Amino acid sequence: MQITVAELPAIKRMEAVSFRSFPATITHFNGTWEIRLTKNHPAKRLNSINPLDPEDHMHIGQRLQQEVQRFSKFGRPLIVRTTPLTSNNIIGYLDRQEWEYFDESVIMILDLQNINLQDASPQLPFRNTEYWLQSFYQMEGHYKAFKSGMFDIINTTHAKTALFLLQNKNLHPLSALRAVLDDDKIGLFDIVTSAADQRQGLATSLLFSALIWARQQGASQAWLQVVTSNHPAIFLYKSLGFQEFYHYAYRRPRAQSFGLDT
């Protein structure tokens, strides 16, 4: 999608909001490249190089080489996350070095004045983080090894966090999501429904609860991020009024580049 120069400040702000919603263990800067590394969670957004200024493109190869050892010490692969803020010179360099694209995602936004929540059934946020995580990983079992890392992420998020959980009468978890309020923006993350209870509108109901809570807290815009290959989710979010804002993708070097292992 085409991004105009006038939209770049809004994208910079969204990137900052996104990073605050997923605090990394260590953050440092190489010029205006934000380097994020996290010990207890392998998520790419938490372990990547993020160029944040289209004009910062000097000594690209040298600067990437500087990060090889740092990422290796963390046991993380060297990854560059590209957004509309990434210089075309960097994109060109990665193309010439044959870095592959993988896992493209889209940021979607919603003006909270443009959605009717009158018929929604509001729920209060869940206060027990440990219990919420236990329920979340009961539905997303293959990510259970990252529970301690996710606990750290939630507890070190300085912006106001609300955890939402739907359960049946037997306290079996049905659906969950995490919402992070940053000034006037509400981010919606970790939206999951148990495999046996999908396609019943449970996630939508929980999302509405989060949006009601967000409006009560003074939020005016909701946002989320979803991989572009998840067509059903994108269709659902668009049906609720979310619009695509910008795309981002991850790139990694070929195995022989920078002496990296496969």
Chain segment 45-87, per-residue pLDDT in tens: 999 999 999 999 999 999 999 999 899 988 999 999 999 999 9
Which helix (H) or strand (E) is 243 found in, with range?
A: strand 243-252
Domain ranges in the chain? 5-106+247-259, 110-245
| Residue 185 CA: distances (Å) to CA of 21, 95, 122, 161, 222 | 11, 34, 19, 12, 6
- Does pLDDT of 156 surpass 50? yes
Q: Which CATH architecture has domain 110-245?
A: 3-Layer(aba) Sandwich (3.40)
User: Tens of pLDDT along 106-118?
Assistant: 999 999 988 888 7
Q: How much of the chain, in percent, has pLDDT values that exceed 90?
A: 76
Task: Give the model's pLDDT for residue 255.
Answer: 67
Query: Is pLDDT above 90 for 238?
Result: yes
Q: Which residue pairs from 16-20 have beta carbons closer than 8 angstroms and sit at least 24 positions apart in sequence? A: 17/182, 17/183, 17/185, 17/187, 17/223, 18/45, 18/107, 18/187, 18/225, 19/50, 20/157, 20/158, 20/159, 20/180, 20/182
Whole-structure pTM value: 0.91
**pLDDT tens per residue, range 107-147:** 999 999 888 887 777 788 988 999 999 999 898 876 677 88
Are residues 18 and 27 in contact, defined by beta-carbon separation less than 8 angstroms? no
- Mean pLDDT for the stretch of residues 176-204: 90
CB of 179 within 8 A of CB of 161?
Answer: yes
- Higher-confidence residue: 261 or 230? 230
